[in-house]
Structure 1
Amino acid sequence: MRTTMDLAGRWTWTVDTDGRSPVPDLAVPLVGRAIEAQVPGAIHLDLLAADLIPDPLVDQNENEVSWVSRCDWRLGRTFAAALGAERIDLVLDGVDTVASVAVNGRTVGSTRNMHRSFRFDITAVTAETNTVDVRFTSAYTEAEHWERVLGARPSAYPQPFAFIRKMASSFGWDWGPTLPGCGLWREVRVETWSTARIAAVRPLVAVYEETGILTAHIDLERTGSGATLPLHLEVEIAGQAVHAEVPPGEDSATVVVAVPDVRRWYPRGLGEPHLYPVAVSLWSGKEQLDEHCTRVGFRTVAVDRAPDAQGTPFVVTVNGRPLFVKGVNWIPESVFPGAVTADRVRTRLVQAAEANVNLVRVWGGGVHESDAFYDACDELGLLVWQDFLFACAAYPEEEPIRSEVLAEARENVVRLSSHPSLAIWNGNNENLWMRLDKDWAAQPGGELTWGERYYLEWLPELLRQLDPTRPYTEGSPWSGSWAHDPNDTDHQTFHSWDAWNEDDYTVYRDSSPRFVSEFGWQGAAAWRTLRDAITDPELRVDADNVRHHQKAIDGHAKLARNLARHLPPTSDFDRWHLQTQWMQVEAVRTGVLHWRASWPRTTGIIVWQLNDLWPVTSWSAIDSAGRCKPLYFALRDSYAPRVLTIEPGDGALELCVVNDDEEAWDTTAYLARRGLDGVTAAQWSHPLSVPPRSVTRVVLPSAVAEPSDPGAEFLVATVDEERALWHFAPPGEARRHGTPLEATVTAVTGGLDIGVRSDHLARDVLVQPDRIHPAATVDRGFTTVLPGETEIFRVRAPEPLDPASAQAAFVVASLRDTIDPD
């Protein structure tokens, strides 16, 4: 039976003075010094733990530690091996990135790809006590070498990330720092085995009426003695076992199992995500040699792209049922992914599920995520859109890049094949679009290969061989062919970035793309997150350290320009902080609700982005400390199964009633035009019967939709428990009043309840729990308090809270506080 020895834990770093890279000046004092390491992990984290570098995520320390990425490093440890097995393998599930591996002074293998695992036969070099030595070459040394050899190519960023198979965003992005490191970032172990082992299991599923079909493709590896032996496989699922004989010399088999009366796996909103355990065992006679355990879910998944009168749709269907995709884009949880725990991943995905998300897109500038990520998605009913790892650059198609790309793709397609959550494979992020939009062909290097064959030939062919059960799209965005612009609103997927970069968020209402696979708006991280990352005595909008935690090109200027369209400028950090978070909510909510109301023309939205990998002003809904920004709650509410939105139509306002439930929504809509003091100027009611999974639009009569005084009136629509508001005037032009908010703070078990009341309309009230306690949370974001009503904000913390702490400045604030200085 195969046995495993875990090599995670304590290792030791040293500077590699014999490596390919010159030793940086700042590394010279470390030459000859042993530095404690933690595996899985990363060099920067271990240097930080040893107090040899400042925290790279604080202030501008990112620049101070740049030498670390230019240095070659050695990582080693000793281990005792159990001798006597026919084979002893050293298995490295993740090596970041270019390294040679030696055991007892003898080189056993080399790596040049962060996105692959490696298995090295160390049988001939192993003793009772052994040393393993991994020598890392600087990612810059490797990438810049191949950039010179193969030729520089166009890219959205200046770093050479396209020339090395490493997490692209570790070289910096418009939301992330430039900290390409090295290390063993996933599990490391020694495996001993004899005769044969299970090398890979690729379980694919199909469903025919009420019967599930599991087709398990199983690859084996044999030792010399096992080559001439007959072997036996057993696949067990749903209480039944199917056996297969593997003749001598053969190293693969396919086992098919039918599961009658199958319970299907459904994503959130369509049903339960039922899973079936699968056990695959390998035998020689009566001796069990190996076992592989996994889970599958029986479902069909497809994308309907049949042309229609409006162009080309992109409708995701599961088990034959179309669904509106309510998605989020996922980036790596840390710039040092070896530090990300399974618990942290699951926490973030639970947050997504609780925000009514039904799909998570794993973006192509990151990594193929951990098994824990996909396991959690399986259990939570979250569909996964999985990018192949290409983003925002022209990628060489020559060797050695090509072989590494195809090897990593093959391995990960097999690795992820069991997960029912995995619904869509995507060839790349924005590369097909940028080829035209940025006119790459006319730029230096534009005549060279740029990745087209990966997306249009090699990857789809690999999927046809290994996983024909899932749909593939060549890119995001992609219109389906070169006959249309890759980012055509009428054809398939669309990225909406002109609003953020150039226009105003109100332009979201000007079009209804078929499927919005990226759009977003920036907002600052939670106050405590930024306060912990910036050591300035006082936070100032124009401070260098504050600006350093904004990576978008002209990001602060774009924020200022966009804010100026709606709010008066401010130099006060606390007001600016609130303004950015308010505008992020307004912008994203405007887009989401408009496009949800555009069903069935628009069939999905994937908001950029769910999470962050360092403390930054960015497009995220949850910051790097795990704190929910107000956007998170806006997503939760906007992605609810039933929502209302008031939309401007052709010369009139329309009430759009979105029903994403299985049941019809038979009810009555009540609308009222009211003054800021709550007095009703006009009201109207209308019966509704909204079919399942549909949208009903109702043109509002002028009596309620046309104000007599836009600055002093607002419109409220109520349908059962749902509410929508329409403000006739932008915040800067609305009539203001001097009525203060009335906040009542009550200590309760687990925290505080903060009741907020106002005699006049209190637009967009926010409670910032991290200003009370670093670990405090709240149950809602910006909430408009109608005249005379009280809204309760539930603040919870791991220890008792002093009610007086809620009286601190900006703990309770409203939109008015972002406008008025007093």
Structure 2
Amino acid sequence: MSAKRTLHEDWTVTGDPGAPVAVTATPAAVPGEVVADLLAAGLISDPYTDGAERDLAWVGRSDWTYRTSFDHQGDWDGIDLVFDGLDTVARVSLNGTVLGETANMHRRYRFDTRDAIRQGANELEVHFTAPYTYAEAQRDRLGDRPNAYPEPGNFIRKAACDFGWDWGPNLAGAGIWRPVRLECWDTARIEEVVPRVSLEDGIGVVELEVRLKRAAETGVVLECAIGRNSASGDGHFVAEANVQVPAGSDTATVRLEVDAPERWRPHGYGRRTLYEATVAVVAGDEVLDSWERRIGFRTVELDTEPDADGRPYRLKVNGEPVWIKGVNWIPDEAMSGRIDPARIERRLRQAVAAGVNYIRVWGGGVYESEAFYRICDGLGLLVGQDFAFACAAYPEEAPFWSEVEAEARDNLARLAPHPSLVTWTGNNENLWGWHDWNWQDRLGDRTWGAGYYHDLLPKLVAEVDGTRPYWPGSPYSGTRELHPNEQAHGTVHIWDVWNELDYTHYRDWKPRFVAEFGYQAPPTWATVRRMVTDDPLTADSAAMLWHQKAQNGQAKLQRGLDAHLPPVRDFDDWLYYTQVNQARAIRLGLERFRSLQPYCTGAIVWQLNDCWPVTSWAAIDGEERLKPLWYALRDAFAERLVTFQPHGDGLNMVVVNDAAEAWNGVIGFWKCNPEGRIIGRALVQLEIDARDTAVLELEPGAIPKDGEFLVTGREDFPRAAWFTKEDKDMDWPKARCTTEVAVAEGGVAVTVHAESVLRDLCLFADRLDPDALVDKALITLLPGEHATFTVTSDAIAASPELRQALTAKPVLRAVND
């Protein structure tokens, strides 16, 4: 038998005596980290507000000691202290006896306590060495290596973004960041179970690799089973097997077969059927230990065989190609203790609501939690997990090689049950960095990580997992002989547009698969007011600039405004216009890439989420609010998409049907003058197969001339438009409309009747209630049309003054207002 109890209560944290802030036996949260503890104790200012982050550099250069006490009773063969995550360089002591030391945030740790634990009260201490102290010492020992940022994060196995990024703060602290527990057991316990799930000629095969830890030379039995999923099953097992593990043996492989299992399918491709896999260790009539996880039967293939055009990167699930509608994922909070399963589920449901079917877990963060993957399993979100390397050269010498091997083995085993996990990738941008970022001369003959990406990691993926494809890097062209960001081969990152060019240059690219591309904008109004107290508030006020981490970020935003939109008159204009520009840039890029399918097989937007309030590439800001980009993603990722695409001197209408059913119908589109008067009409009869694309070349007479524009009707797909001039040059009439406001269940309905063209109409209800939600944004209306915005907000519904404010600037905006 066994007993497991969490040790999350009554922790304190103490800092260095010479630190700028005296921290003595301050209450601490576990799981959590030290910055949040200091903030909760009132010892520091909120690092998310104004420039307070800059005053916390000392935290990452200080040692920290966490302590708690717990009571223990009873005699057991084994008594283990188990940490699911220690951040990062720690010494663990129990009653003054050192149990062990750690130097890797990305691993789980187990310590045998039998020589140190006492009956009754026990004192547990975890001492953390400052991450900068450790990393800088390793850098000095091994020699410096290139990093995209002037930080030593590549010399410690800690999330790279903890040391700051071009969207994130530097809060490189310490803490017990994942659960800790005491596990007591007799005779034998389960050390690890790795389920390898496959399909063989319609038979579901689950091969369970089981490792045991023994305290007695006693034979045990493994009772293994696969149970029906809760949605359709009756609780009966669909496969069972009992295996005798004789004394002296610590491993066993158990094969179970399920006849014609229901498959797990991605979002948009059918049901997400899950089964329960269980393993029990039994001696006589006693269950000594047990393990259970949800699994799913599905196949995954990555087609990268060269073709006449280069090398594709095509993901197939259950034999069917899936066009990847993806977003990049970073840690959802800079203070990790604030991330709970409910928050993760909110974020992932927001992704699904935007039409996303794929999450790339970026390599500068962490290997995501069980909760993250469990939720993705249930939602049908495909996940690509990077190994934890990003934008830097990493040493391969001791102790790093063995640490990387241990963390890879641990996470490959931990995440193996999850059907949502479909690919492993070796790193983020390090292969690209070696080619293009002036690394080679600076490195000389020093290691930089190639041995991990090309040798160690693919070997471990095959050995530990064996069911999922591996790709050496993002970007990567499939062979070391090619430049890693060659657009005709494999995966690419597109950053020349944001860094150097106008966003219309996305149309210059013809990629096989886009793993990163993005465009910035500030967060929502309510989040801006949370992050800065500047008065007056301007785009270049001090705190706004502190919350812009990208190199020349404000200048790049201004370049985009100058190219497309009318002159900015005040901060309200700047906020609205930059958000509109971000949304337009990403929608233009996504429509370009979707119009290239099946040549192009997917696009992953940088990025879904933020970890604090900041001007960034995110669609959902650090306070969990939807930016206009989120609504643009929902349109651009819609199952049925119509887009106008330039082709030579002409114009094509590209119609994409990503639905499981054929699309048979009629599309109407109109040619209009700047006043919105219709000066030409056309109808197109459609017959498009499921998961197919049609390209229609427009007749010369249907193509708008200078100052005119095209729009489709408002049908069961997002409205498509083509403008011959930028808004700054378009002879738009001043926006005119009438409005109606009505209290509805849970909020307010705001109906806008257009009397002129209304370009990219948005309603920013968060200006009136920070918790308000709006169901749509970026709506272009012609004269005589109307749109109804549903605002979910009890506060606005209850206030006549707030309801009236919904219909005026700066809440209700159009580009031509």
| TM-score using structure 1 length | 0.96
Change (3 A) 1:752 1:720: closer
**Cα distance per residue 1:549-589 (max 9 Å; x no partner):** 11001111111122211124426211111111011011000
- 1:772 aligns with 768
Tell me the SS of whatever aligns to 1:565.
helix
CA distance in 1, matches of 2:779, 2:769: 21
Report if aligned partners of 2:302, 2:313 keep a CA contact under 8 Å in 1: yes
Give the deviation of 1:16 after TM superposition. 4.2
Q: Is the counterpart of residue 447 in structure 1 residue 445 in structure 2?
A: yes
Contact conserved, 1:644 with 1:724, CA < 8 A, in 2?
yes
Q: Distance in 2 between matches of 1:701 and 1:70?
A: 67
Following the alignment from structure 1 to structure 2, what is the Cα–Cα distance between the partners of residues 720 and 774? 32
CA distance in 2, matches of 1:328, 1:686: 33
Q: Which residue of 1 aligns with 2:60?
A: 69
Cα distance in structure 2, aligned partners of 1:259 and 1:9: 43
- SS in structure 1 opposite 2:555? helix
Following TM superposition, by how much is the alpha carbon of 1:344 offset from its aligned partner in structure 2, in angstroms?
Answer: 0.2
Aligned residue for 2:233?
A: none
In structure 2, what residue type is equivalent to 1:517?
Answer: A
Among 105, 117, 134, the alignment partner of 2:108 is 117
Q: Does 1:521 align with 2:519?
A: yes
* 715-724 or 372-381: bigger deviation: 715-724
* TM-aligned CA deviation for residue 305 of structure 1: 0.7
Deviations 1:291-313 (A, max 9, x none): 10101100000110111100000
CA distance in structure 2 between the partners assigned to 1:294 and 1:436 by the alignment: 42
Matched, 1:355 2:354: yes
Amino acid in structure 2 at the alignment position of 1:144: E
1:539-558 → structure 2 map (5 Å cutoff): 539-558=537-556
Deviations 1:222-268 (A, max 9, x none): 11xx2x21110011113132111111111111110100021001101
Question: In structure 2, what is the equivalent of residue 482 of structure 1?
Answer: 480
Give the structure 2 partner of residue 178 of structure 1.
170
Deviation at 1:339, TM superposition (A): 2.1
Contact 1:60 1:545 in 2 (8 A): yes
Q: Counterpart amino acid of 1:465?
A: E
Alignment of 1:586-601 (within 5 A): 586-601=584-599
Are residue 217 (structure 1) and residue 217 (structure 2) matched? no
Q: CA deviation at 1:189?
A: 0.8
The letter for the 2-side match of 1:321 is: E
Aligned to 1:618: 616
Q: Deviations over 1:84-122 (max 9, x none)?
A: 111111111110110101111111111111101111111
- What residue in structure 2 maps to residue 3 of structure 1? 3
Q: Which residue of 2 aligns with 1:403?
A: 402
Aligned pairs for 1:29-178 (under 5 A) are 29-30=22-23, 33-127=24-118, 128-178=120-170
Deviation at 1:447, TM superposition (A): 3.1
Give how far 1:798 is off.
Answer: 4.5
Tell whether the 8 Å contact from 2:313 to 2:512 is kept in structure 1 after alignment.
yes
The residue correspondences of 1:222-301 to structure 2 (distance < 5 A) are 222-223=214-215, 226=216, 228-238=217-227, 239=237, 240-301=239-300
Per the alignment, residue 745 of structure 2 pairs with: 749
Q: Report the residue type matching 1:142 in the other structure.
A: Y
- Indicate the residue corresponding to 1:705 in structure 2: 703
One-letter identity of the residue aligned with 1:753: A
Counterparts of 2:604 and 2:737, CA distance in 1: 36
2:601 to 600, 603, 610: 603
| AA of the residue aligned to 1:694 | D
Q: How many Å apart are 1:807 and its aligned residue?
A: 4.3
Q: CA offsets per residue over residues 608-653 of structure 1, 9 Å max, x none?
A: 0000001001000001111010111110111111110011112111
**In 2, are the aligned partners of 1:671 and 1:704 still within 8 Å (CA)?**
no
Q: CA deviation at 1:210?
A: 2.4
The answer to whether the 8 Å contact 2:675/2:732 transfers is no
Using a 3 Å threshold, how does the CA distance of structure 1 residues 478 and 675 change in structure 2: closer, same or farther? Answer: same
**What is the alpha-carbon distance in structure 2 between the residues aligned to residue 669 and residue 696 of structure 1?**
13
Deviations 1:452-479 (A, max 9, x none): 0100000001111111110100000000
Q: Find the aligned partners of 2:734 and 2:26 in 1 and give their Cα distance.
A: 61
1:287/1:52 CA distance change after superposition, 3 Å: same
Q: Which amino acid aligns with 1:58?
A: T
- 1-side partners of 2:576 and 2:465: how far apart? 47
Moved more, 735-744 or 102-111: 735-744
Q: Counterpart amino acid of 1:259?
A: V
Deviations 1:343-392 (A, max 9, x none): 00011011111111111000000001110000000000000000000000
Q: Whole-Å Cα distance in 2 between the matches of residues 80 and 111 of structure 1?
A: 25
CA distance in 2, matches of 1:237, 1:777: 42
Amino acid paired to 1:775: D
Deviation at residue 738 of structure 1 after TM alignment: 3.1
2:713 is aligned with 1:714: no
Q: Given residue 184 of structure 1, which amino acid in structure 2 is its aligned partner?
A: I
Superposed, 1:689-704 pairs within 5 Å as 689-704=687-702
Shift of residue 781, structure 1, vs aligned partner = 1.8
Residue deviations 1:781-820 (CA, integer Å, cap 9, x gap) = 2111121111111110244342124245311001124xxx
Note the C-alpha offset of 1:676: 3.4
Hey, what's the Cα distance between the residues in 1 that align with 2:663 and 2:337?
Answer: 47
Q: Which amino acid in 1 is paired with 2:739?
A: A
Q: Indicate the residue corresponding to 2:457 in structure 1.
A: 459
Instruction: Give unmatched runs, 5+ long, in structure 2.
Output: 228-236
The match for 1:820 is none
| Cα distance, 1:188 vs structure 2 | 0.8
Following TM superposition, by how much is the alpha carbon of 1:720 offset from its aligned partner in structure 2, in angstroms? 4.5
Greater shift, 415-424 or 683-692, is seen at 683-692
Secondary structure of the corresponding residue to residue 96 of structure 1: coil
Letter paired with 1:455: Y
Structure 2 CA distance for aligned equivalents of residues 468 and 241 of structure 1: 23
Contact 2:29 2:337 in 1 (8 A): no
Structure 1: which 5+ runs fail to align? 18-22, 818-822
- Shift of residue 162, structure 1, vs aligned partner: 0.3
Equivalence map 1:338-417=2 (5 Å) = 338-417=337-416
Counterpart contact for 2:326–2:605, Cα < 8 Å = yes
- Counterpart amino acid of 2:13? W
Q: CA deviation at 1:538?
A: 3.1
User: Partners of 2:715 and 2:629 in 1: how far apart?
Assistant: 24
The answer as to whether partners of 1:676 and 1:760 remain within 8 angstroms in 2 is: no
Residue 635 of structure 1 corresponds to 633
CA distance in 2, matches of 1:570, 1:719: 30
Q: Which amino acid aligns with 1:811?
A: V
Letter of the structure 2 residue corresponding to residue 98 of structure 1: V
**Distance (Å, rounded) in 2 between the aligned partners of 1:609 and 1:5:** 38
Aligned to 1:580: 578
Q: Distance in 2 between matches of 1:248 and 1:670?
A: 75
Query: Which residue in 2 is equivalent to 1:814?
Result: 814
Q: Which residue identity lines up with residue 645 of structure 1 in the other structure?
A: T
- Equivalent-residue separation in structure 2 for 1:669 and 1:48 (angstroms): 56
Report the counterpart of residue 760 of structure 1 in structure 2. Answer: 756
